[in-house]
Chain A
Amino acid sequence: EPEVTQTPSHQVTQMGQEVILRCVPISNHLYFYWYRQILGQKVEFLVSFYNNEISEKSEIFDDQFSVERPDGSNFTLKIRSTKLEDSAMYFCASRVTYNSPLHFGNGTRLTVT
C-alpha cells in the first residue's frame, strides 16, 4: 500500500540553525500538510498546501517557517532559525481529494539543542 515517507527520521540541530524536513506524499495525492506534535501533547496543524500554494496556516506557522514543493514528488518544511521550542515530531500528511482522509508519514523527530 502506498505511504507517505519522511526523511530524516531524527534531526538534531543547534539553536539558530536552519533545517529542512522532507516528505514524499502518496503519488496521486493533491493536498499536502505539515503537523507537529510536541512530546506528550496532541497533534497540531501547521500548514496546508494545494496547487503550489499555501491554502491555510495556523498561528504556529510564523515567518520562520516555509514550505515548498520543489518538484513533482517532494514536499519540504523549512525552519529558518530554529528555537528550543521547535523541538517536536513533525508529521507530513497528504490526501487525494478535499474531503478524503489524511494519511500521515512516520514523522521526523526534531531536537533543537
Chain B
Amino acid sequence: GQQLNQSPQSMFIQEGEDVSMNCTSSSIFNTWLWYKQDPGEGPVLLIALYKAGELTSNGRLTAQFGITRKDSFLNISASIPSDVGIYFCAGLRAGNMLTFGGGTRLMVKP
C-alpha cells in the first residue's frame, strides 16, 4: 500500500524556535495536506498544496509541495505554546483515499 514516512516522530523545542518536519513517499501524490490534531479532537486542516513546487503560507506556517511530488515539508516559525500537538501530513492520489503519515508530536517548552 501507499506509505508516507513522516519525520521526526517527535520534537521538544524551546518557545520561539523554528520547527521543520517533512514527509516522503515512494509514490507520487497529486495533493499534499497538512493537519494538526489536538488531544481528543479531529485533525484540523492547516495547509493544502495542489501543484508540484507550490509554496504556501498560513500565518507562521509554511509548507511546500516537492518538485518530485513525492515529498512535502512544513515549517513553523517562532513557535508558541499553543503549537503543541500532533502534525500529520496526508497525500492524495487519483481516487478518494487520503493516506496519512505517522505524525510528528510537537512539544514546546516555555
Q: Do A and B come from the same complex? A: yes
- Chain B window 82-110, contacts with chain A (Cβ cutoff 8 Å), 1 for yes, 0 for no: 00000010101001111111110000000
Q: Is the CB of A103 within 8 A of B31?
A: no
Number of interface residues of B (CB under 8 A): 24
**Per DSSP, are chain A's interface residues mostly helix, strand or loop, or mixed?**
strand
A45, B97: Cβ atoms closer than 8 Å:
yes
Residue B57 is within 8 A (CB to CB) of chain A in the complex: no
Chain A interface size, as a band, is 20 to 34
Determine if A44 is an interface residue (Cβ-Cβ < 8 Å).
yes
Provide the bound-state CA to CA distance between A70 and B52, in Å. 39
How close is A61's CB to chain B, nearest CB, in angstroms? 11
B interface, CB within 8 angstroms of A: 30-31, 33, 35, 40-45, 48, 50, 88, 90, 92, 95-103
> A-side interface residues toward B, CB under 8 Å?
4, 6, 31, 33, 35, 42-45, 48, 50, 55-56, 58, 91, 93, 98-107, 109
